[in-house]
Amino acid sequence: MERLVATYVAPFIAMLPTPYREALTLTELEGITQKEAAEMMGVSFSGMKSRVQRGREKLRALLENCCEIALDARGRLIACEPRPHGKQPANCCCEPEGPSREAKPRSPERFDV
């Protein structure tokens, strides 16, 4: 399940404002610690922590606007499906494909940001 969602996350991260996009790309996609990311970007550790936290909030809002997400009691992902066709925002990366309702991520170039 997490790998499936990871295919959707990168295009959503690309939609974020630069400070949050950079922070989440380094920490969430590349696996760099927040402390290392802060040093790389020349910001304080607390500043990086703030960027990551705010970026996660913005990312979650984008995801929830496009997809139906279910979490377990510990906050771990247990289900993620594109919203029914017609209920997705115009910049959603989920596109239904035929009767199976499978979705594929769109490339970031297709977003109107």
Determine the pLDDT at residue 107: 37
Q: Would you list the domain boundaries of the chain? A: 2-110
Kindly report the three-state secondary structure assignment for every residue of the chain. Answer: CHHHHHHHHHHHHHCCCHHHHHHHHHHHHCCCCHHHHHHHHCCCHHHHHHHHHHHHHHHHHHHHHHEEEEECCCCCEEEEEECCCCCCCCCCCCEEEHHHCEEECCCHHHCCC
64-108 pLDDT, tens digit each: 888 888 888 998 878 877 777 666 555 565 544 433 333 344 333
47-63 pLDDT, tens digit each: 999 999 999 999 988 88
21-40 pLDDT, tens digit each: 999 999 988 889 999 999 99
Could you give the CA distance from residue 111 to residue 109 in angstroms, rounded to a whole number?
6
CATH number for 2-110 (one of 1.10.10.10, 3.40.50.300, 2.40.420.20, 3.40.50.880): it is 1.10.10.10
0.85 exceeded by the pTM?
no
69-81 pLDDT, tens digit each: 888 899 887 887 7
* Parallel/antiparallel/unpaired status of strands 67-71 and 77-82: antiparallel
């929830």: which residue's tokens? 64
